[in-house]
Amino acid sequence: MQNSKTIWITGASSGIGEACAYQFAKERFNLILTATRVDKLQEVQCTCVNLGARCVIIPYDLSDLENIDELTDNALAAFGKIDTLFLNAGISQRSKTLDTSFSVDEKIMNVNFFAPVKITKRILPSMIENGGGTIAVTSSISGKFGFPLRSAYASSKFAVYGFFETVHAEYYDNNIRVVMVCPGRIKTNISYNALEADGSKHAKMDEGQNSGMSAEKAAKKIVKAIIKQKPEVLVGGKELLMVYIKRFLPGLSRKMVRRVSST
């Protein structure tokens, strides 16, 4: 039996987004998938359909903020409504603050923060009109504390927390629930696609990323949390301990971050 619920996932062509798409397809959600790579999106769409879901793809580069209203209108038109919005698309960084071009700072903030903000402002009214909905957002443990070579990335993830926790507080009585997805080291292409100081791709898998939790295992935890509308879900390995060290032992946390490997 087809699920009447519809989810829109950004960053759906690989990694956490792709793995979550398959999990939601198994739950028979209607799927709207967005990412930059058309060929890869088509492959993900085919798998989702084979799993029994209805699936529409809308390729888009979220660094283009000017046409996001048109993007969201197309997403809303796909199945007539969006019950769950999973703002998962993101881009990371591998460069020191002073070395990093401001254009790189801008691109990371556009993709990781301003695009989700614009999408949310466009989708939220229809969610409220339909009686409520769920907004899930991929942050990071770097949204909990600053991290070497991640100045723009960490800033974007801190900003995501501030904005969406505010949305949760303001629209809770409208039956809007926000789920903050907070990954540690997950084995995806995020380090490969991360930006260097000049905007070029890092183009290699970091050792820590390569030894991280699989995207498939992470997706099972994330999808369960989204369906249950948990306020926050942490996914990863022993690196998640840093979240609790920062909370309860902030001085120790600052010392550890200064010494930790940046890859």
- pLDDT tens digit string along 225-237? 999 999 999 999 9
- pLDDT tens digit string along 56-91? 999 999 999 999 999 999 999 999 999 999 999 999
Where are the domains positioned within the chain? Answer: 6-259
Q: Which uninterrupted H or E stretch holds 25?
A: helix 15-26
Q: Which uninterrupted H or E stretch holds 10?
A: strand 6-10
The residues pairing with 181 across neighbouring beta strands, listed in sequence order, are 138, 233
CATH code assigned to 6-259 = 3.40.50.720
At 173, list the tokens. Answer: 């009585």
Residues with catalytic roles: 153
At 223, list the tokens. Answer: 């999808």
Rounded to 5 degrees, φ, ψ at 10 are -95, 155
**Where residue 1 falls among pLDDT bands split at 50, 70, 90?**
very low
What's this model's pTM, rounded to 2 decimal places? 0.93
**Where residue 192 falls among pLDDT bands split at 50, 70, 90?**
confident
- pLDDT tens digit string along 9-35? 999 999 999 999 999 999 999 999 999
